Amino acid sequence: MGAAFILDLRLAVDSAPISTLPLCDVRLMNDARFPWLIMVPQRLGMADLIDLDPADRAVLIEEIAVVSRALKAVTECHKLNVATLGNAVRQLHVHVIARFADDVAWPQPVWSVGHTVSYRPEQRNRMVEAIRAALPS
Amino acid sequence: MGAAFILDLRLAVDSAPISTLPLCDVRLMNDARFPWLIMVPQRLGMADLIDLDPADRAVLIEEIAVVSRALKAVTECHKLNVATLGNAVRQLHVHVIARFADDVAWPQPVWSVGHTVSYRPEQRNRMVEAIRAALPS
């Protein structure tokens, strides 16, 4: 038996759980300025896409598509931004962000623009529920 | 017969050709601050990953892995950043960027940090040749 997967503490603090897909934990980033999900492959010691084996990468890209479609359906966004950066938190995670031509960062990426605005709890719960309902069960 | 794929003019101006894989045109962004590749799937009218069909997505994620490995081998980078944003240029393209803990943007993403520094032609040609040599032929 391998060691159990443990979510990075900073990712855990900055986000709320939505769903667990076969490969990825899907979570809502706590920033009400942007509908912003993160996906964390439940694999130990991964930092970059090339650390995953090809079978996991094939699952990941289709889970990204599933999550992207759910986010687009809920938000009716203008554009999706999908990225794996990992400069601050090294544990492999994928950002899936709904963008609008009138959001506060457009057309820049969302990172390093202004300051995080936390959701009110009921607002966050509504978003979590909406995304969960839009994901395949 | 469908219409031929045409590379977005801004992507063409901002980057130099390296190689063409089965799906993607691989190009070097003309910014000497960061070893920065872009990959453009040769498909018409695509903006987001979810616009590709699943077979193309499966090819794309493995081409991203191949290009990432080549970039890492050439640069010995600390981290890879992989992203598809498309807020400024809507044509689907994937950024693959080699990051170092001492680069000018670290730990921020490279976008919207400072100003582009063009390669000297011979410096650009060396990078193009090095990446090309590191890609599977």
Q: Is the model's pLDDT at B93 over the cut of 80?
A: yes
The per-residue pLDDT for range B23-54, each reduced to its tens digit, is 999 999 999 999 999 999 999 999 999 999 99
Indicate yes or no: CB of B79 within 8 angstroms of CB of A47. yes
**Closest partner residue to A57 among B61, B69, B87, by Cβ?**
B61
The band of B2, judged by pLDDT with boundaries at 50, 70 and 90, is low
Q: Is the per-residue pLDDT at A137 higher than 90?
A: no
Least confident of A130-134, B75-79, B108-112: B108-112
- Burial class of B26 by CB neighbour count within 10 A (0 to 12, 13 to 18, 19+): buried
pLDDT value for A112? 80
Q: Do A83 and B81 touch (CB under 8 A)?
A: yes
The answer to whether residue A1 scores a pLDDT higher than 60 is no
So what's the pLDDT on residue A2? 62
Task: Indicate the DSSP class of residue B50.
Answer: G
Contacts of B57 in chain A (CB under 8 A): 61-62, 65
Q: Given this model, what pLDDT does residue B86 score?
A: 96
Name the CATH code of domain A9-131 (choices 2.40.160.40, 3.90.950.10, 3.30.428.10, 1.10.10.10).
3.30.428.10
pLDDT top residue among A30 and A113: A30
pLDDT (0 to 100) of residue B37: 98
Rounded-to-integer distance, Cα B73 and Cα B67, Å:
10
CB-closest option in A80, A88, A109 to B111: A109
- What residue in A sits closest to B89 (Cα-Cα)? A107
DSSP state of B45: T
User: Distance from A123 to chain B by nearest Cα, in Å?
Assistant: 26
Per-residue pLDDT at B109? 96
Nearest to A49 among B57, B68, B112 (CB): B68
**pLDDT at position A3:** 76
pLDDT digits (tens, 9 = 90+) for B58-86: 999 999 999 999 999 999 999 999 999 99
The pLDDT score that the predictor gives to residue B3 is 76
CB-based contact, B104 to chain A, within 8 Å: no
Yes or no: say if B95 and B83 are a contact pair by the CB < 8 Å rule: yes
Mean pLDDT of chain A: 96
Which residues in chain A are contacts of B111 at CB distance < 8 A?
108-109
d(Cα B81, Cα A95) in Å, to the nearest integer?
12
User: B9-134 — its CATH code?
Assistant: 3.30.428.10
Each residue's pLDDT tens digit, A37-62: 999 999 999 999 999 999 999 999 99
* Banded pLDDT at B15 (limits 50, 70, 90): very high
Q: Does B82 contact A at CB distance below 8 Å?
A: yes
Percent of chain A with pLDDT over 70: 99
For residue A109, is pLDDT > 90?
yes
Mean pLDDT, range A84-113, rounded to an integer: 96
C-alpha distances in Å from residue B2, one per residue of B12, B40, B41, B45, B56: 22, 18, 15, 12, 17
Chosen from B59, B87, B92 to mutate, greatest number of chain A CBs within 10 A:
B87
Contact check, Cβ <8 Å, A61/B65: no
CB B20 within 8 A of CB B31: no
pTM of structure: 0.97
Q: Is A133 on the interface with B (CB under 8 A)?
A: no
Please tell me which of the candidates B72, B87, B99 has its beta carbon nearest to residue A79: B87
Mean pLDDT of A95-117: 95
Put simply, whether A10 touches B (Cβ < 8 Å) is no
Confidence at residue A4, expressed as pLDDT on a 0 to 100 scale: 86
